[in-house]
Structure 1
Amino acid sequence: MRAVAITGTRKTGHKSLTEYANLFEQYLGPFAPAAHFYIGGAVGIDSLALLWLADQTPASITIVAPGTMSQQPAEAQEAVARTKGRITEIVELAAAELRSSAYHARNRWMVDRASMTIGFPHTTEPSTGTWQTINYTTEKGKPRLIVPV
C-alpha cells in the first residue's frame, strides 16, 4: 500500500469547493484505491482533502496534529468529527507549544512515514509550511507531486 503525505495551504477561499473536488479527483483519486493518506489536522487543504477522501474514496486516512486535536481550529475539528468513522488513526504529537517548529515537526513526521508527498501550495514563497514539507520530501529522496492552487 502506498503511503501519501498531503500538504497544502490554509488559504483556500479563492477557489470553490467544486474546483477543489476536481483537483482532488485528478491528483488524489488515482492513488486512493490502494493508498494510506497522512493529513495534518488543520484548516484549508487538510480539512478539504480529508472531507473529499472520506466521502469519495476507500482510502485509509491518518490525521496528524502537532499538539492535540482539541488545540486545532474549530473548522478542522469539525471535519475530523464528520469523518471519524472513516479515519484509521488520529496521531497527536503533543507539542508543548504550537509554534512553527511544532508544525514543521508534524510535517516531517508525515513525510518520514510516506512514500511520496502531494502538495497544494498557494504561493511560490519558499518559507511556507507547504514548501518546507515539499522540500523536506525532496531531501529525503522521495517523489512529490505539486499542484498549485
Structure 2
Amino acid sequence: MIRAVTITGSRSPRKTVTEIVELFGAYLLPFARSDVRFYVGGASGIDTLALSWLAENSQATLSVVVPCTVAQQPVEAVVAIERWASQGRLAEVVELRAPSLGTVAYHARNLWMVDRSELVIGFPHGNKPGSGTSHTLIYAAQQDKSRLTVPV
C-alpha cells in the first residue's frame, strides 16, 4: 500500500498549465487519498503547481520540504506555501537548513523525500540525464522504490 509519495519535476515544464493540470488529474489523483502523504519540494514549476493542485483537489496530507529555508525559495513558491499553510492544508513545512542553496542542497532535499516514500512521481522536462528530476528518479530506482515518469 502506498502511504507516501514524492513529487519531483521540472522548474520549467514545456507543457501549459492546463495540460499539466490534466496530467495531475490522471497521475496524481489515483494516489491523492486522505491516508497518503505527499512530499513536495518548495521550488517553482512542478513543485508549486503540484502543491496547489493537491491542496485544492485532494484530502491527502501535504508536506513541503525545502533545502534551506522557505524565505530562500522563489517568490511564487513562498506565496503558495504561505497560502496553503494559512488555510491549514500543510501538515508540515520541513526546512533542511542546508548551508547554501544550489544543486547539492536540492539533491539532498530530494533524497530526503524519497527516503520517506514508497512511490516517486517524476515530471521531467525532456530526458536530461543530469537534471534534478532524473537524479531523483535514479536514486529511487537504486532504493527499489516504485516510480512513475510523466514527461512535461
Alignment TM-score, normalising by the size of structure 2: 0.95
Superposed displacement of residue 109, structure 1:
0.1
Aligned identity (percent) is 52
2: distance between equivalents of 1:55 and 1:37?
14
- Classify the secondary structure of the residue corresponding to 2:107: helix
Q: Tell whether 2:18 aligns with 1:9.
A: no
- Classify the secondary structure of the residue corresponding to 2:39: strand
How many positions carry a matched residue from both structures? 148
Gaps of 5+ in 2: none
Tell me what 2:22 maps to.
22
2: distance between equivalents of 1:80 and 1:90?
8
Question: What amino acid does structure 1 have at the position aligned with 2:100?
Answer: E
Tell me what 1:69 maps to.
70
Tell me the C-alpha RMSD between the 2 structures: 0.9
Q: Tell whether 2:109 aligns with 1:106.
A: yes
Gaps of 5+ in 1: none
Superposed displacement of residue 17, structure 1:
2.1
Superposed displacement of residue 21, structure 1:
1.1
1: distance between equivalents of 2:17 and 2:105?
29
- Classify the secondary structure of the residue corresponding to 2:81: helix
Choose the corresponding residue for 1:86, options 69, 85, 89. Answer: 89
2: distance between equivalents of 1:15 and 1:148?
9
Tell me what 1:36 maps to.
37
2: distance between equivalents of 1:82 and 1:93?
21
Alignment deviations for residues 91-115 of structure 1 (CA, whole Å, 9 cap, x no partner): 0000001121111000000000001
- Classify the secondary structure of the residue corresponding to 1:88: strand
1: distance between equivalents of 2:77 and 2:105?
17
- Classify the secondary structure of the residue corresponding to 1:83: helix
2: distance between equivalents of 1:87 and 1:19?
25
2: distance between equivalents of 1:97 and 1:50?
24
Tell me what 1:145 maps to.
148
2: distance between equivalents of 1:31 and 1:2?
9
2: distance between equivalents of 1:10 and 1:98?
15
Question: What amino acid does structure 2 have at the position aligned with 1:58?
Answer: Q
Question: What amino acid does structure 2 have at the position aligned with 1:82?
Answer: R
- Classify the secondary structure of the residue corresponding to 1:64: strand
